[in-house]
Amino acid sequence: PAYQNLRQKVDNFVSTHLDKQEWNPAMNKNQLRNGLRQSVIQSGMLEAGVDRIISQVVDPKLNHIFRPQIEKAIHEFLAAQKKEESVPAPPPEPENKDPPAPSQDAS
């Protein structure tokens, strides 16, 4: 419902704004579009509408959908960290006792 409400408000705002404009073919459409965009942003309706959408859609799902998944990911990460700490480091590779072969310069 919040999305539909916001969409209707924006549609009405755009219609009202365009009704106030006197059209002529010489008008710069990009300037008109940018002016409309600025008016919508300055009205604050988008910000308020998005906040309402979040509170209606996201907030109810926060505790029973998102939070368990976040907690699971954290527990898995911490378990992996603990596992890395408890696994002993592999022994260092034995040093090669043979001297390296002399390199041949191709110059």
The per-residue pLDDT for range 30-57, each reduced to its tens digit, is: 988 999 999 999 999 999 999 999 888 8
Write down the pLDDT at residue 62: 83
Is 28 part of any domain? yes
DSSP 99: P
Is 99 part of any domain? no
Computed from CA positions of residues 102, 103, 104, 107, in that sequence, does the dihedral angle turn out positive or negative? negative
Is 101 part of any domain? no
Structural contact between residues 74 and 24, judged by C-beta atoms closer than 8 angstroms: no
DSSP 71: H
Is 92 part of any domain? no
Is 80 part of any domain? yes
Please give the Cα distance from 5 to 2 (Å, whole number): 5
Write down the pLDDT at residue 37: 94
Q: At what angle do helices 45-53 and 2-20 cross, to 10 degrees?
A: 170
Q: How many structural domains is the chain composed of?
A: 1
> Residue 50: which domain range?
1-84
- Whether the pTM exceeds 0.85: the reply is no
Residue 41 vs residues 7, 14, 48: alpha-carbon distances, Å: 14, 12, 11
Is 104 part of any domain? no
Is 32 part of any domain? yes
Identity of residue 92: P
Is 97 part of any domain? no
